[in-house]
Amino acid sequence: MELWYTEKQTPNLGITCLVRETLCHIKTPFQDLAVIDTLQFGKMLVLDGMVQTTEQDEFVYHEMIAHIAMQAHPNPKDVLVVGGGDGGAIREVIKYDSVESATLVEIDEAVVEMSKKYLPGISVGLSDPRVNVLIADGIKHVKESVGKYDVILVDSTEPVGPAVGLFSQDFYAGIYRALKKDGMLVAQTESPFFNRDLIRSAYSRIKSVFPLTKLYLASIPTYPSGLWSFTVGSKCYEPEEGKQKPVETKYYNSAVHKGAFCLPNFVSELLEAE
């Protein structure tokens, strides 16, 4: 008998995949966690019924959350990833020789453990000697860090449960303090089709803290609507400028870097209201 998995992406829309095998399904102290092997997207990590990453399209998200800031910053040495326990963002960050330390602060140890077990191609960077994995609340870690990081990437779940605070004004102000004087932030900010209020509020909160704030886009098939946004806050470097440091990627390149900031009218209108 065929088994299909459906993620209810909005109250009125679902995405459905044919399942080869359910590899793991557990309740962690923070969320419901499943790893499902699908015919279309390979293995996928699902938290609280929402697809977080899949073997087939993870490269788009992980490259685009990491390389915009890693290229725009001339010399990123100390990098923090908040959330992102699958390790994909860290894998991209450590492609740069300038990186001396890459810290991952993930609240749910099970995400790290299950990703190491079932998604080795994504979690591969976690064993790099420059990487320090902290199992802790990213909000607390950011609050306790001052002038420490060149780049901070907020690779969060949707703003539910422990991730609610990762979209707050206080958190962005804490990130500003945790960055060095020329630091940069990138946060994933969801779909411009389905999360307009979230994008508007995250953008205006980041803009109230950082002198340079820009939104950029990427196409990610398994995320709701397929069109995804990221918001970058920078203390001084122009985010749209890729420095073209050599890096091996499948989606990112310097033309994509510039093009990602070209916004369709309905997206720029969303931000103009701010």
Interface residues toward ligand SAM, by CB under 6 A: 30, 47, 52-53, 61, 82-86, 105-108, 111, 137-139, 155-157, 162-163, 166, 188
Q: Which is nearer to ligand SAM, 52 or 103 (CB)?
A: 52
156 has binding-site annotation: yes
Q: Which is nearer to ligand SAM, 8 or 258 (CB)?
A: 8
Residues 6+ apart with CB under 8 A from 124: 87, 91
- The Cα–Cα gap between 102 and 3 comes to 39
162 has binding-site annotation: yes
CB pairs under 8 A, 24+ apart, for 82-85?
Answer: 82/138, 82/141, 82/142, 82/152, 82/153, 82/154, 82/155, 82/156, 82/166, 83/107, 83/138, 83/154, 83/155, 83/156, 83/157, 83/163, 83/166, 84/153, 84/155, 85/111, 85/112, 85/115
Cα dist from 130 to 7, 69, 82, 105, 209, whole Å:
36, 19, 16, 14, 30
106 has binding-site annotation: yes
Q: Which is nearer to ligand SAM, 31 or 71 (CB)?
A: 31
To ligand SAM, the closest distance from the beta carbon of 28 in angstroms equals: 8
The number of angstroms, rounded, from the C-alpha of 129 to the middle of its chain's C-alpha atoms is 22
248 has binding-site annotation: no
48 catalytic residue (yes or no): no
Q: Which is nearer to ligand SAM, 38 or 52 (CB)?
A: 52
* DSSP 8-state class, residue 129: T
To ligand SAM, the closest distance from the beta carbon of 211 in angstroms equals: 26
Rounded to the nearest 10°, the torsion over CA 143, 81, 253, 241 is 10
157 has binding-site annotation: yes
To ligand SAM, the closest distance from the beta carbon of 238 in angstroms equals: 25
To ligand SAM, the closest distance from the beta carbon of 61 in angstroms equals: 5
Catalytic residue among 108, 155, 170, 197: 155
What residue numbers does the annotated binding site cover? 31, 62, 86, 106, 137-138, 155-158, 162
Catalytic residue numbers? 155
**Binding residue positions for S-methyl-5'-thioadenosine:** 31, 106, 137-138, 162
Residues within the annotated binding site for spermidine? 62, 86, 155-158
